[in-house]
Structure 1
């Protein structure tokens, strides 16, 4: 348990419990894509109920040995470029404005969709780049196409009511259940839309990747409706402290017995680690099966 935070040591359990927690009884199994390459590299600990997991993260292994150019270009075996044929930039018109959006798949015909909201300083290109973040966005796009889904990532120009309105417009443009995934400051968009009844009715779940903590989230309409939520965070995140986000997770879990929420902590991971290391197949199976 290299460098394991002392508060986490109490969560270490036997292997049998670990296997059950990682492989819950679910009604949905997605067709995989490069699962061995993107699986969590090692589980350091897990809570008895399986809701809180600490994953080993090693910068040398997970960046320098994985990338040809560290943090710029992953090795080619992590990427399947054929998905580019179903990927395109689009302009979504709403209220006299055009929202620049990266799209993979056909939202109008999708079984389900993932909409990714970037953080401050980003745009739609961040979530569409096949080679940064260890190829994890390329994997996500391939998972969606292989399973009849759609993936979209809009350029969010502000993380206020206007930004939330733009993301809402994209959600409401389709009919498929949506997983809304928000990274970093993009979590403000998730928090805002968590109180919008029209949006909550369309959501299958939420994922918060290194997200900005918001204790009010636990009292949101989304949480009151039992919406499944996945939190992923780095233990050395200097932008948003993991313990503050863990407090939000704990508050959500207290709202109902067996609330469908999971927290994955990347031990020694930084602010960007969740975008590189989140296992999208495992996360989506959890969110979409409930």
Structure 2
């Protein structure tokens, strides 16, 4: 009898493990795709990995927002995800980390972390109405499909910030051991994306990186994350005055050449500015590509 119970327990565990794996790899269902789909693909190469996307400020800001750059029209937003949204303080080995979270704090099937840029805070990536409702969309897609969406604060974009985010990742993974983890960064937050990708403790937990109007790091090509072919999604405005699109495109080409068809995607928003990728990047496309 005892032997039978042990075998039954083992079988149940294996079935549960298989369920978690298949659930995390399942494609996220459509959600307001008609509002967030790219207006048009101007050109494409590398079998679709690199795409130039049509962007028009009058259409994609003034036509989309009730109050331009401050509040999107209601049709773009669902407030359902607010039901399980919390403002928290995570106790970590690097000290307390303030963060907002929406979704399952334990046993999440996948986790998405958004790191803000200079001058931002934990509220930026949880705001339902700014950036054309795009943060609301990633929050909804994650929290309503068994995942966890987290937007933390950190002390800097260097050593202290790296320690805090690495420690936060350790806590989140301890609560959801089977979860795939996508780290996304806007603007200067990308400095932390690259630091975490090179961090010996945190990097093995990563499933993919997302950089929106952000910076590059040639040193990444020497990391273990590069060697294990960590998927990377890059999105950039062609008129970005902070980080030149030509430099990010050059980095994309380095990845493709050095990695032997490395898993990297690039979306160039033609005539887009520094904040355009945060507003326009298709989160369902991004997550389904990385999580599969």
Q: TM-score, normalised by structure 1?
A: 0.88
C-alpha separation in 1, matches of 2:163 and 2:113: 14
Post-superposition, which runs of at least 4 consecutive aligned residues in structure 1 deviate over 4 A? Answer: none
Q: CA deviation at 1:193?
A: 1.1
Q: Deviations along 1:47-104, whole A, 9 cap, x unmatched?
A: 0422110000000000001001110000000000111111111001224732110101
Please say if residues 255 and 262 of structure 2, whose CA atoms lie closer than 8 Å, have aligned partners that are also in contact.
Answer: yes
Q: CA deviation at 1:219?
A: 2.4
Change (3 A) 1:79 1:219: same
C-alpha separation in 2, matches of 1:105 and 1:48: 35
Output the aligned Cα RMSD: 1.3
Please say if residues 94 and 163 of structure 2, whose CA atoms lie closer than 8 Å, have aligned partners that are also in contact.
Answer: no
Please say if residues 90 and 100 of structure 1, whose CA atoms lie closer than 8 Å, have aligned partners that are also in contact.
Answer: yes
Q: CA deviation at 1:218?
A: 2.6
Q: TM-score, normalised by structure 2?
A: 0.87
**Which has the higher mean CA deviation after the structures are superposed, 28-37 or 225-234?**
28-37
Q: CA deviation at 1:110?
A: 0.6
* Aligned match for 1:238, one of 241, 251, 254: 241
Higher Rg: 2
Please say if residues 217 and 248 of structure 1, whose CA atoms lie closer than 8 Å, have aligned partners that are also in contact.
Answer: no
Q: Where does residue 167 of structure 2 map in the other structure?
A: 169
Does residue 194 (structure 1) correspond to residue 192 (structure 2)? The answer is no
Q: Where does residue 286 of structure 1 map in the other structure?
A: 289
C-alpha separation in 1, matches of 2:281 and 2:169: 23
* Aligned match for 2:263, one of 243, 255, 260: 260
Question: Where in structure 1 are there 5+ consecutive unaligned residues?
Answer: 1-26
Question: Where in structure 2 are there 5+ consecutive unaligned residues?
Answer: 1-24
Please say if residues 97 and 164 of structure 2, whose CA atoms lie closer than 8 Å, have aligned partners that are also in contact.
Answer: yes
Q: Deviations along 1:151-185, whole A, 9 cap, x unmatched?
A: 00101220001101111111111222210001111
Please say if residues 118 and 156 of structure 1, whose CA atoms lie closer than 8 Å, have aligned partners that are also in contact.
Answer: no
Please say if residues 224 and 255 of structure 1, whose CA atoms lie closer than 8 Å, have aligned partners that are also in contact.
Answer: no
Does residue 274 (structure 1) correspond to residue 272 (structure 2)? The answer is no
C-alpha separation in 2, matches of 1:203 and 1:94: 18
Q: CA deviation at 1:222?
A: 1.3
Q: Deviations along 1:233-272, whole A, 9 cap, x unmatched?
A: 0000000001111111111112222211000000011000
Please say if residues 42 and 52 of structure 2, whose CA atoms lie closer than 8 Å, have aligned partners that are also in contact.
Answer: yes
Secondary structure of 1:151's counterpart equals strand
Please say if residues 115 and 189 of structure 2, whose CA atoms lie closer than 8 Å, have aligned partners that are also in contact.
Answer: yes
How many pairs were matched up? 263
Within-5 A mapping of 1:1-290 = 28-95=26-93, 97-173=95-171, 174=173, 175=177, 176-289=179-292
Q: CA deviation at 1:220?
A: 2.3
C-alpha separation in 1, matches of 2:49 and 2:254: 13
